[in-house]
Chain A
């Protein structure tokens, strides 16, 4: 038998993190990465067609994206574990894909006890039996560094892009940064791309008023972060000349607070005593933080039937009442139309703008 065949690995589209998945799969695991096609209406139609009706929408998106990844040549699919229904995505996704007749190898992290360090080595060896653990770790950390950069630059982008005084240089700088990340093959590429983006973004003149409208985004971990899934809500708000702030991202939720959010809970003890779900503590903390900083409004984003985020809503309603901060609650499903969202956003914008003038 010749050399073991190199795996063609894929993971569904997820915000702008696929550049980091690609980097880790190729540089750390020594496999090939198959980039799933960008999410489109077709992805959603495929996902919705084969999913159970009232599963949360990211399941449908991921199923669609996995089918498209298999069509693009992937032979190995990865699915993560998770604290909510996400932890059961893997088994059901695999079953549905196999029933459809697709052939592939499926690496489901829910099958591993992710609390144990030894398990990680088993997973790495499954991807590539010849992978060197030390090299893997070093390269993996570089992939995480890329994730942090993506989050930092994205955060910066939505805060300022609505105030670009040029004809789109700010957006161009962000796009160039993403291209650099998607094509990076070594640590130097990642660092150079990041530095170039910082410089480029700082050099674009901004036309920002003294006190711009500021809106905080809270919500469910997939839909709040994935621009396709939330119909580019952040860009739409920014285009109305709003500073858009979002704390929730992979860096903050996992890399900084991976071992629990005890220190965030300190400030919200009167609102909730426990974690109410995987992202409740961070969302409640950040909503109050925005309210205390005098932001003009909050947008709560979730997919249809997302249990943990439905349960966070009564707490957000109390924060809204206590601080007199308007909250726009948005639920996304596979059919949500752009037009409906635009109407609601415009009304929300008019309202917070009028309040700002009065207050």
Chain B
């Protein structure tokens, strides 16, 4: 038994899209195995919807479906509490409630959950401390955990930088470019935003991403656009818009129904960012993509019309 490696389950939803490299590298460095749930499909969405409170956001429903898919498949499922990285650098409260939410939803399943906490504003606890505590809870030394975190953070930042560079190349290409302003877990999920970027590519439009920018620079620029915006990811997106609004032909504000932060920040964006066509697209669980495609088609027609190309 003792030689058996610990298996950690990573639900392919929510913060997975931001932290997959950080998480995978950390656990691998500590000699553990990670298992990721399969890409979102109808079954995952339906299971998640059945487990969630009706009024919860689509992203949470999908997340719970992914957790359900991992139950019984691993020793622990990772469900972190990421509250904030300091003042005006919060996450949606849903990321604060995640460990206790899954703990209560999956009570009685026998599944063990693993958590780490990031709460710099209230508890002065940063990400590194959270990871070291988690490593110790898994039986590793503080030293090994710290080393694994450093490696993992380096890998995460490296990967992000690479992706940013890739997107920077996209801006240099010829052709119509549309900036997708969305949380990564919305933009990249096959049941949410992927349909949008796939469609854009299919009709010859180059999709770019507002959150694929240097994070520190984006936080600063985001503050110029909305000085009291308190959500880290929305501030990055705001910054991305400020940095690239003149390099694109249109902006799609893409959110999952009824995302709390987006409901407010996207309203502010439509009021403050002028001179570029903008589409406010809210996704809910639908069985087909025809509705979304119709809206995208008309949005692209509007851009072409405005540019005199229609």
CB neighbours of A315 from chain B (8 A): 100, 104
B277 at the interface (CB under 8 A from A): no
- In whole Å, how far is A268's beta carbon from the nearest beta carbon of chain B? 10
Q: Provided the pairs A54-B263, A307-B94, A310-B53 are in contact, do residues A92 and B104 lie with their beta carbons within 8 angstroms?
A: no
Whether the pair B271, A99 counts as a contact (CB closer than 8 A) is yes
A318 at the interface (CB under 8 A from B): yes
Complex formed: what's the CA distance from A277 to B230 in Å? Answer: 15
Q: Mark B235-274, 1 if CB is under 8 A from A, else 0.
A: 0000000000000000000000110110111111001100
- How many residues in A have their beta carbons less than 8 Å from beta carbons of B? 45
Complex formed: what's the CA distance from A307 to B92 in Å? Answer: 8
B117 at the interface (CB under 8 A from A): yes
Complex formed: what's the CA distance from A272 to B265 in Å? Answer: 30
B285 at the interface (CB under 8 A from A): no
Q: Provided the pairs A55-B267, A314-B104 are in contact, do residues A307 and B93 lie with their beta carbons within 8 angstroms?
A: yes
Whether the pair B56, A310 counts as a contact (CB closer than 8 A) is yes
CB neighbours of A317 from chain B (8 A): 104
Complex formed: what's the CA distance from A331 to B264 in Å? Answer: 20
Complex formed: what's the CA distance from A163 to B81 in Å? Answer: 46
Complex formed: what's the CA distance from A99 to B264 in Å? Answer: 15
CB neighbours of B92 from chain A (8 A): 307
Q: Mark A314-329, 1 if CB is under 8 A from B, else 0.
A: 1101100000000000
Complex formed: what's the CA distance from A243 to B265 in Å? Answer: 42
Complex formed: what's the CA distance from A106 to B261 in Å? Answer: 22
- In whole Å, how far is B279's beta carbon from the nearest beta carbon of chain A? 15
B87 at the interface (CB under 8 A from A): yes
Complex formed: what's the CA distance from A108 to B229 in Å? Answer: 12
Complex formed: what's the CA distance from A59 to B264 in Å? Answer: 10
- In whole Å, how far is A314's beta carbon from the nearest beta carbon of chain B? 4
Whether the pair A304, B228 counts as a contact (CB closer than 8 A) is no
CB neighbours of A308 from chain B (8 A): 93, 97
Complex formed: what's the CA distance from A273 to B103 in Å? Answer: 9
- In whole Å, how far is A118's beta carbon from the nearest beta carbon of chain B? 15
Whether the pair A310, B55 counts as a contact (CB closer than 8 A) is yes
Whether the pair A272, B55 counts as a contact (CB closer than 8 A) is no
- In whole Å, how far is B57's beta carbon from the nearest beta carbon of chain A? 8
- A82-121 residues at the B interface, CB under 8 angstroms: 83-85, 87-88, 90-92, 95-96, 99, 108, 110-111, 113, 115
Q: Provided the pairs A110-B228, A310-B55 are in contact, do residues A95 and B272 lie with their beta carbons within 8 angstroms?
A: yes
B73 at the interface (CB under 8 A from A): no
CB neighbours of A90 from chain B (8 A): 228
Name the contact of A274 in the complex, choosing from B96, B104, B261, B268 (C-beta under 8 A): B96
Whether the pair A304, B55 counts as a contact (CB closer than 8 A) is yes
Whether the pair A85, B260 counts as a contact (CB closer than 8 A) is yes
A271 at the interface (CB under 8 A from B): yes
CB neighbours of B96 from chain A (8 A): 274-277
Name the contact of B227 in the complex, choosing from A111, A113, A275 (C-beta under 8 A): A111
Of the four ranges (under 10, 10 to 19, 20 to 34, 35 or more), the interface on chain B belongs to: 35 or more
Q: Provided the pairs A92-B264, A92-B268, A331-B55 are in contact, do residues A276 and B228 lie with their beta carbons within 8 angstroms?
A: no
Complex formed: what's the CA distance from A88 to B264 in Å? Answer: 8
CB neighbours of B309 from chain A (8 A): none
Complex formed: what's the CA distance from A59 to B268 in Å? Answer: 14
B99 at the interface (CB under 8 A from A): yes
B101 at the interface (CB under 8 A from A): yes
B111 at the interface (CB under 8 A from A): no
Chain B's closest residue to A90 (CB) is B228
Chain B's closest residue to A315 (CB) is B104
CB neighbours of A274 from chain B (8 A): 81, 96-97, 99-100, 117
Complex formed: what's the CA distance from A278 to B117 in Å? Answer: 16
Whether the pair B229, A314 counts as a contact (CB closer than 8 A) is no
Whether the pair A311, B264 counts as a contact (CB closer than 8 A) is no
Complex formed: what's the CA distance from A95 to B264 in Å? Answer: 11
Chain B's closest residue to A82 (CB) is B230
CB neighbours of B272 from chain A (8 A): 95
A40 at the interface (CB under 8 A from B): no
- In whole Å, how far is A127's beta carbon from the nearest beta carbon of chain B? 19
Name the contact of A318 in the complex, choosing from B107, B121, B260, B265 (C-beta under 8 A): B107
Q: Provided the pairs A91-B227, A95-B268, A274-B99 are in contact, do residues A314 and B53 lie with their beta carbons within 8 angstroms?
A: yes
Q: Provided the pairs A55-B264, A311-B93 are in contact, do residues A305 and B258 lie with their beta carbons within 8 angstroms?
A: yes
CB neighbours of A53 from chain B (8 A): 263
Complex formed: what's the CA distance from A264 to B178 in Å? Answer: 49
B226 at the interface (CB under 8 A from A): yes
Complex formed: what's the CA distance from A260 to B119 in Å? Answer: 14
Complex formed: what's the CA distance from A56 to B258 in Å? Answer: 10
Chain A's closest residue to B102 (CB) is A314
B105 at the interface (CB under 8 A from A): yes
Complex formed: what's the CA distance from A95 to B117 in Å? Answer: 34
- B59-91 residues at the A interface, CB under 8 angstroms: 81, 87, 90
Whether the pair A111, B228 counts as a contact (CB closer than 8 A) is yes
Chain A's closest residue to B234 (CB) is A88
Complex formed: what's the CA distance from A91 to B265 in Å? Answer: 10
Complex formed: what's the CA distance from A357 to B262 in Å? Answer: 48
Complex formed: what's the CA distance from A304 to B231 in Å? Answer: 21
The 6 closest A-B pairs by CB, nearest first: A276-B97, A272-B100, A52-B267, A54-B258, A311-B97, A314-B104
- 13 inter-chain pairs at a CB distance below 8 angstroms, sorted by A residue, are A52-B266, A88-B231, A91-B228, A95-B268, A95-B271, A111-B227, A111-B228, A272-B100, A274-B97, A275-B96, A311-B56, A311-B97, A314-B53
Q: Beyond A85-B261, A307-B93, A307-B94, list 4 extra A-B contacts (CB 8 Å).
A: A52-B267, A55-B263, A88-B228, A314-B105
B residues near A (Cβ < 8 Å) are 53, 55-57, 81, 87, 90, 92-94, 96-97, 99-101, 103-105, 107, 115, 117, 121-122, 226-231, 257-258, 260-261, 263-268, 271-272
